[in-house]
Amino acid sequence: MVPANSIPIRLDKIQIAANPDQLAWQPFRPGVDIYPLYQAPETQHRVALLRYQPGAEIPRHAHPGFEQILVLSGSQADDHGHCRAGTLTINPPGSHHQVASPEGCIVLICWEKPVVMPPDGA
């Protein structure tokens, strides 16, 4: 039995990595697609899969809340290093980074609060 406050989401990382086109991906940023899994409107907490095309980048942004990233396939890099499949990164509130994936990747990402993108040209 699942407690009333739990929301189970079954993910098989091997199937997602092997068959990413079975999901209904949506455009997120240039070269990056999103597959939303959960969003709590009352808290802004959000869980999703992101699929980076080879060479895709997310511009520098800030985290007002925690962000957790689990790399399911491929790899991505940011200001703090290069993360391959199986790596969990936790970015605390007040942190910032720019993300790139030279080879492409799929990640499971959890945002406590929406990230803050700088204005264009900043």
What domains can be seen in the chain, in order of their start residue? Answer: 32-111 (2.60.120.10)
- CB-CB contact of 56 with 101 (8 Å): yes
pLDDT digits (tens, 9 = 90+) for 75-103: 999 988 999 999 999 999 999 999 999 99
17 vs 92 pLDDT, higher one: 92
pTM, two decimal places:
0.85
When pLDDT is averaged across residues 19-24 and rounded to a whole number, the result is: 84
Band the pLDDT of 6: cuts 50, 70, 90.
low
Whole-angstrom distance, CA of residue 41 vs CA of residue 46: 9
Structure tokens at 79: 């200001």
Q: Is 68 helix (H, G, I), strand (E, B) or coil?
A: strand
CA distance 1 to 15: 26
